Structure formats: structure tokens, C-alpha cells
Amino acid sequence: MPLFGLGQQMIKLFNKSKPNGEAIKRIKATFSEHFAVLETTTLSVAELNCHEPGCPSTETVVTAHNHDGSIKSWRIAKPIDQIEELPVVGAVLREIHNQHCNLSMGRLTHELTRRLISYFVQDALVNTASRLADVSPETAVDIRTAGQALAGHSGQAAEELAALRSFLMAYSWRHYKVNRMTSKSKKQLAALFDRLLSETNLMPTEWQDKLKNQTRAEKARTIADYVASMTDRYALLEYERIFETGPILV
């Protein structure tokens, strides 16, 4: 049984007072086959409930306990059958499974991403070329007055992309765990900006030179530019350098 047909089994598995033993066996067998799990590895299937706002009500967790003591888990916050129902994704997953039935989850994720990107890029190229051929613009004015965007996806691909973005917005980009990290990062950046504005001597020397003879508003703009120039990792490190006690971090 393909891995991506487990959604309904997972739904049926826990909607009874007792777990469905046969469903657990089928899920374990499917994971064992798909991920080439060794006979010495023990698989367990469990369900986690979450009552926090924005958190999926249930997560199905399949855990592999290896003979060397290492553990690997697969967490499914949404039934996989619903992922298969997304435009394009289901067809691509079935195509990948038919060609490479036992890909690891990491390889499968990368291959799915690669093929989805190829699909939408190819659609944009073909559709844009077709529109340009119809209009035959010779100047920038011709493009501005064409009455439509000449570069873009076809109507079908645009609808498919919108559906994928809606799904990702709910279950990835605005997932509650991502929101938590975003909230913490906002507070850290705000605290970092306020501290640098009140104590400009904490800025690197070259940035302090830029602050000379500036008004408070101009200093705020310069400090904002300094903070905005940081990568995520560097911003966290700079926060630690200024706020955390302990050894000086270079």
C-alpha cells in the first residue's frame, strides 16, 4: 500500500474508544516498506491531542526505535489523503511513487518540490510566450497598453497555485509553531532596536561614525538600517551579545 493512502486509516485509527489494532499493523507495515525499516527496529503509532489556538487538533506520530538507541519520528498534523487532494500535488506524488516507490521522506520532499517548481515555471514560460506572440509588442508602451499582464500563469495553473498557497498559509507559513518563532523574533528585534537607540555606543565603530551629528529621527533610521542588514542568525547572535550574561561572543 502506498504511503500516501494512509490518511483514512489514520482517521479511523483513533476515532474509536480503543485503537484499531489492524489499522496500526497496516500503518506499521506501510512505513516499514516505504522507509526500508530494519527488522531490528520497533515502530510505534500514537496520537497527540492539542488544545492550543491555531494548533491542529490531533497529530498522528509514527516513531522508529532503532537497535542502536536512536529514534526517528514522523509527525503528520493533517491526514495525508487531504494533501493528495491538493491540485497537482496528488498527481506528482503518485508519479514519484510509481517511479521510486521507496524514497526516504527527505528525498521525497525534495523531489516533490523540484517537480512542482518545474511544473509552474514551465507553465509560466509557455503561457507568457503565447501571450507575447498574440500581442507582438515592439515597445514598452505596447506592453503597458496590452490590456492584460503578458507574463504569468495560465488560468488553470493560477487557480492551482492559489489553492497551494492557501494550504501552505494555513499549515506551514502560519503554522502555530512558526507564529511562535515569529512572535519571539519580533520582540527580540524591537528590544535590540530600543537598546541600540538608547545606547548608541553599543553599535560597531563604523556604524557609530554614521550616527555623528544626526538627529534622533536620523539615528533611528540608521539603526533600523543596521538591524535590517542582519541575517536571522546574526540578529539572534547580536541579541545574545547585548542582552545575555556570560562570555563575550565574537
> CA-CA distance, 84 to 73, in Å (whole number)?
21
User: Does pTM top 0.85 for this prediction?
Assistant: no
Percent of the chain with pLDDT over 70: 73
Whether 232 has a pLDDT exceeding 90, the answer reads no
Whether 225 has a pLDDT exceeding 90, the answer reads yes
C-alpha cell recorded at residue 105: 521522506
* Selection from 96, 61, 41 nearest residue 33 by Cα: 41
Percent of the chain with pLDDT over 90: 37
* Selection from 39, 50, 45 nearest residue 23 by Cα: 45
Whether 13 has a pLDDT exceeding 50, the answer reads no
Whether 16 has a pLDDT exceeding 50, the answer reads no
> CA-CA distance, 121 to 92, in Å (whole number)?
15
- 85 Cβ contact partners less than 8 Å away, ≥ 6 residues apart: none
- List 59's β-bridge partners, or say none: 48
pLDDT in tens, 24-51: 676 677 666 656 677 778 888 776 666 5
How many helices and strands (H and E) does the chain possess? 11, 3
Whether 113 has a pLDDT exceeding 70, the answer reads yes
Average confidence score pLDDT of the chain:
80
* Selection from 112, 89, 97, 90 nearest residue 161 by Cα: 89
For residues 183-198, give the mean pLDDT: 94
201 DSSP 8-state letter: G
Between 44 and 61, the higher pLDDT residue: 44
Tell me which of 6-15, 87-96, 183-192 is least confident.
6-15
Are 223 and 196 in contact, with CB atoms under 8 Å apart?
yes
> CA-CA distance, 112 to 68, in Å (whole number)?
31
Q: Work out the pLDDT band at 2, boundaries 50, 70, 90.
A: very low
User: Helix or strand or coil: residue 94?
Assistant: helix
Q: 495560465: which residue's cell?
A: 154
> CA-CA distance, 163 to 68, in Å (whole number)?
43
